[in-house]
Amino acid sequence: MDMAAPRRIKTTCPYCGVGCGVIAEISANGDVAVRGDPNHPANFGRLCSKGSALAETIGLDDRLLTPTVDGERASWDSALNLVAGRFADTIRDHGPDSVAFYVSGQLMTEDYYVANKLMKGFIGSANIDTNSRLCMASSVAGHRRAFGSDTVPGCYEDLELADLVVLTGSNLAWCHPVLYQRLAAAKEKRPRMKVVLIDPRRTATADIADLHLPIKPDSDVVLFLGLLRYLARCGSIKRRYIGAHTSGFKEALQSAEMLDLYDLVRRTGIPAATLERFFALFAATEKTVTVYSQGVNQSTSGTDKVSAIINCHLATGRIGKPGMGPFSVTGQPNAMGGREVGGLANMLAAHMNIEDAEHRDRVQRFWRSPTMASKPGPKAVDMFRAVADGRIQALWIMATNPAVSMPEAENVEAAIRTCPFVVVSDVTAATDTARLAHVLLPAAAWGEKSGTVTNSERRISRQRSFLPLPGEARPDWWIVCEVAKRMGHADAFTYGSAAEIFAEHAALSGFENGGARDFDIGALAATDGDAYDALEPFQWPHPLGSASSARMFADGRFFTADGRARFVDVQAPAVAQIAPAFPLTLNTGRVRDHWHTMTRSGKSPRLSQHCAEPYVELHPHDAARHHVADADLVRVSTGLGAILVRALVSPRQQPGTIFVPMHWNDQFASRARVDALATAITDPISGQPALKSVPARIERFVAATYGFCVLRHKPPTIDAEYWAIARCSSGWRIELALAAPPEDWSAFVTGLLAGDAPVLSAYHDPHTGHRRFAAYAGGRLSAALFFAPEPVAVARDWAVEQLGASCPGRYARVAVMAGRPANGTVDRGATVCACFGVGTNEIAAAAARGCTTVAAIGDALQAGTNCGSCRAEIRNILDARRAPATASAREAVTTI
C-alpha cells in the first residue's frame, strides 16, 4: 500500500535574527521533520543545532491550551471580556498611561502591528516596549544618530565578499551559527580573507580568527576612537566622501585625537603592537565589514560604541558597497520586524518618529484613529519601574519572560506580582512570568501561526503554519484584535487574516512617503491572501514601482534633514573602578544549543546534552585565587543577590572576568537566574541595559551530599540547595547538592521518583557515604540515582542512555549501580556535536585511529558537518591529545 507523500511547507526558523529558511515535512501519520531550505537566500539550506532540532520542540506536554483566570479554566469570551473591561476601566480611572504592553521579538510582524496600533493610536499612549530593548536598542539609536533612520546598510553577502571581517562583541559561532558557517566557508575558499575577533573572551568564533583582541570589558569606544585617529594620521580617510556626504567629522576626530597610544593600551589592555597590527589591517583593506552584536549593544555606552564603529566606516567611505559596511546582527527572529511597526516605545510605525508632529498626524490619518500618543513611552527598564510604583495599573505581557530576562529580575518579578492586573499571552503554561498572571491566554506557537518576520539583512520572510491550532490556542494578532473590539474599536480591527494586516502595514509604509523614509514596502500594499501565501523572501525597501534593494546608501544619500550622514562626537567613557567587595566583572550571554529562557529549546533532549546545567566560566588564575576547582559549585553574587552554578575553569576567559549563560531559570534550576544579579543601569540614549559588565564576586559552595539522577518522570519538586534539570531522550537528568544529608533517605528518593517504578536495587557504603538506587519497570531501567559526599563520579551520558533501556541480566544491572559501562560497552562521553549526538570519547577514539584533523573527524563521525558550531571544540580535543599534559576534565560537569 502506497503511503501518501509528505506535505512540504516552506517557513522560517523562530530562533535568532539570521532568519533561516526551513522546510517542514509532515508525513501521513502527522510526524514532522525539518531541514534547511536550500533556496532561501539567508541560509541556502544550512541550519544550526537549534534549527535542526525544531521538530523535537513542537510537543504539547507543557503547552498552555485554554484561557485561565486566577488559575481556573475560562472561556475565550469571558477572558477577553475581562481583559478588555479591566483595561478600559483602568484607562477611565487613571488615564491611558496607566496601562502598558510588553511585547516580544518572538511575535510576527502582524501581531506587533496590531498591538502597536491599539496602544498608540486607540488607547493613546506609547506605553508599549519590547524585549528587543534588551538586545538591539543601542543599534537602533546609533543608526538613527548617524543615518537619520534605523537602517542596516548591508547584507549577508557582504561578509562573503569582504577581504576583512571585524567581529566585535559577537560570538558568531554560537549565537548566529549559520552566518558563521557562511563566513567560514568564504574564508576557506579565499584564504587571503582576514577575520579579526574583538572580545574579552576567547570564544568558539576565535577558531577562524587571524587576530584576537581580548579587550577589557566596555573598552570598545576607546578602541574605535583609536582606530579613527590612526586612519586620519595614516591618510586612509576619504576626504572627498566626507566633504560631499557627511557632517561633523572635525568634532569627532578632535575627540579621537585626545587619546594617544599609551591611553589606548592602558584602557583596552591590548599591547601596542597588536593594536597597530589591527589598525594597519583595517586601514589597508578597502572591503571591510564590521559585525557587532550584544557585546556592543548591552552597555552603558552601547550607542556610543555603535557610533564609534560607524564613524570609522564613514571616514573611509566604506558603506553601502559590496563587501563593506557596519553590520548589526539581530538577536531575535523578528526584532527587526518589531522595529518596523513601532514596537519600541520611542518609535512610530513604518520607522516614523513619535517626536515628529507631522509623522504623528500622518499615522493618525492613515489609521483614522481617535487619538495618537504624543510622546515616547517608558523604555523596558522604566516600564517595570512604573509597574512597581503603581503608575502602571494594568500590564499585558506577550510572548516573553521578563521575570527571567530583565535586569534586577527579582525586582521585576515583585513588580509584576503586585500589579493589580496582569495578562500574559504565551505558548507555555509554566514560566517564571506566567505564574504571576491573573489571566493567561493561550497563543499559537511556531508551526501553528502564520505571518512575516524580518531578519538582520532587512529580509522579510514568511512563517507558515503546518500544524493545527491545539486546544483553544489562537494567533496573537487575533487575541489583540478581539480585545480591541471589546474596548470599542471594532471598526479598526476587523482583520480576518494575517494577510490583511500585512497589506495594511505595507500600505502605511508607502503612505505619503515619496522616498523620505527608509522603510517602504508599498509595492506589497495590494497583497491578497493568495499572494501572501506565495510571498517569497525579499529585502526592504520595496516601494511601489521599484525593485527591492540589497544595500543602502550606495549613492551617499541618507535620511537626515540635509541628506548627509552624521559623524557623532563620542567621548571615551570613564574607567570603571573595581570595588574590593566585587572584584570580578560578570558577563552574560548565550550558549550554543539553548535559546533565551529555554521554553522552546529546553524541550529538545539533544539540545540539553551539551550544556546540561548552568555554569560560571572563569580563568584558572581567578579559580586558584578563590579556591575553586573545575566542576565545583560556586556562588556568584552581586549587590542584588546570588546564584549557584557549576564552575568551568578555562583559559578562554580573561582574568578578572566571569561568564554565566542567561538561559537557566526557576523551571530548570534552583538558583540560576543570572539577570537577577544585573543592575538596571542603562545606556542613557537607547535605554538598553548593561548586561555585559556587572561587578561580582564568587565563592566555593561546599555541600554535604552531591547527586546525579536519571528519571523517566520529572519530579514535581526537588528539595535541594542546588539542582539543575534537563531533558534527555527517555526522561530527565538531574544534578543536585544538599547542604545536609536527608533525614529519611527513603522518603527523599521516593519524592524524586515521582511515579516511577519502586526501587528494586539499593546500595549503601557506610564507610564512604555512597548511596545508589535503581528502579526497573518491565525489565527496563526507570530510574537511577547516585549520591556521595563529593561530586559523583558517574559516566553521565552513558547513564542517560541506559534510561529506558532493557536491563534483563545481572551484569547489566551491576553496571547501572556502578554508574559506568561494563567491559565491551561503549561510553560516548560528554556530548560535543548536538546535531549528530557525538561525544568526547568517540572523538578521542577516532583520533587514536588516525583521524587527526577536524575534517577527518567529520568524515568518520559526521561531527561538525552540519551546523559547524562544534568544530572549535573538536579541535580542542585533538589539540589536547597532542598535548595531554594540558588536558584536564572531570565527569561531574559536561564539557563545554
pLDDT at position 868: 81
pLDDT at position 235: 96
Mean pLDDT for 249-260 is 96
Apex CA 644: angle with CA 834 and CA 594, to 5°? 25
Give pLDDT tens digits for 474-511: 999 999 999 999 999 999 999 999 999 999 999 999 99
pLDDT at position 863: 87
pLDDT at position 198: 98
Confidence of residue 3 (pLDDT cuts 50, 70, 90): low
**Residues contacting 768, CB < 8 A, separation 6+:** 788, 789
Closest alpha carbon to 649 in 630, 625, 633: 630
Of 254-268, 706-720, 823-837, 847-861, the poorest mean pLDDT is in 823-837
Mean pLDDT for 591-603 is 94
How far apart are the C-alpha atoms of 880 and 390, rounded to whole Å?
57
Q: Take residue 589 and report the three cell numbers written for it.
A: 550571554
pLDDT at position 814: 87
Q: Residue 72 pLDDT > 50, yes or no? A: yes
Give pLDDT tens digits for 377-391: 999 999 999 999 999
Closest alpha carbon to 658 in 609, 621, 613, 627: 621
For 51, 222, 343, 426, 852, the CA distances from 14, given in Å and listed in that order, are: 8, 36, 18, 15, 36
Q: Take residue 576 and report the three cell numbers written for it.
A: 570603571
Give pLDDT tens digits for 698-740: 999 999 999 999 999 999 999 999 999 999 988 999 999 999 9
How far apart are the C-alpha atoms of 579 and 584, rounded to whole Å?
9
pLDDT at position 824: 56
Q: What is the DSSP string of 829-879?
A: -SEEETTTTEEHHHHHHHHHTT--SHHHHHHHH-TTSSS-TTHHHHHHHHH
Confidence of residue 867 (pLDDT cuts 50, 70, 90): confident
Confidence of residue 895 (pLDDT cuts 50, 70, 90): very low
Mean pLDDT for 869-895 is 62
Give pLDDT tens digits for 27-53: 999 999 999 999 999 999 999 999 999
Mean pLDDT for 801-808 is 80
How far apart are the C-alpha atoms of 331 and 105, rounded to whole Å?
9
Q: What is the DSSP string of 553-614?
A: -TTS--SSTTS-EE-----PPPPPPPBTTB-EEEEEE--SS--TTSTTGGG-TGGGTSS-S-
**Residues contacting 870, CB < 8 A, separation 6+:** 592, 832, 833, 834, 835, 863, 864
Q: Does residue 610 or residue 165 have the better pLDDT?
A: 165
Residue labelled with grid coordinates 509554566: 430
How far apart are the C-alpha atoms of 300 and 688, rounded to whole Å?
8
The SS3 of residue 375 is: coil
Q: Residue 821 pLDDT > 50, yes or no? A: yes
Mean pLDDT for 58-76 is 96
